[in-house]
Amino acid sequence: MLRSMGVQLPAFQLLVDDHWRDVARLAHVLAGPVDGDDVAQQAWTQALAAYPSLRSATNLRSWLLTITHRCAMDAHRGRARRAVPHDDPASLAHRVPVVDGADADLPDEPLWSAVHALPPRQREAVVLKYVADLDHPTIAAALGCSPAMSRRLVSDALATLRKDLP
């Protein structure tokens, strides 16, 4: 047991053993197969650095998933700033832009294309709910909003998907 700021914390390895699947799954869902491992590793690194100064140990899973969510958002922002080499830049002038691999071969392409077209907060909420299988309080903690707002984001996303999909 680690004593931090008057709080009894379990050894960090126990935290890793209990939650590594959740962190890895969420990282891969939010960042994709290419960046998922890097995002999970970054989340664990940040969690390890912040762990000794943690003030509360009431919901460590939610704390870890919030860190993972923020690392995934950082990865998305970083990807947007990275230059992509191309042999013939002039050929890109008339190409329709594709956002974050939306043209990739996905198992249920119409569904995932529709999910990808959702506003970012709604997309994140619906992915956390149905892919990561999280409850609304945990989603709210990861998104930095109230549980009622997370319910609303998921509800609005589902309404949009029902309207847009055949």
Residue 74's Cβ-count burial label (10 Å; 0-12, 13-18, 19+) is middle
Domain boundary among 80, 98, 124: 80
- The structure's pTM equals 0.54
Are 68 and 120 in the same domain? no
Q: For the domain that residue 51 is a member of, what is the CATH number? A: 1.10.1740.10
Q: For the domain that residue 152 is a member of, what is the CATH number? A: 1.10.10.10
User: What is the Cα–Cα distance from 34 to 27, expressed in whole angstroms?
Assistant: 10
Are 16 and 57 in the same domain? yes
**Radius of gyration over alpha carbons of the chain, in Å?**
18
Per-residue pLDDT of the chain (166 residues; tens, 9 = 90+): 555 555 677 788 988 999 999 999 999 988 888 889 999 999 999 999 998 888 877 889 989 999 999 999 888 787 767 666 767 655 554 444 444 444 444 456 788 788 888 998 998 888 888 877 788 998 888 888 999 999 999 999 999 999 988 7
Residue-number span of the structural domain to which 135 is assigned: 108-166
| Total tally of structural domains belonging to the chain | 2
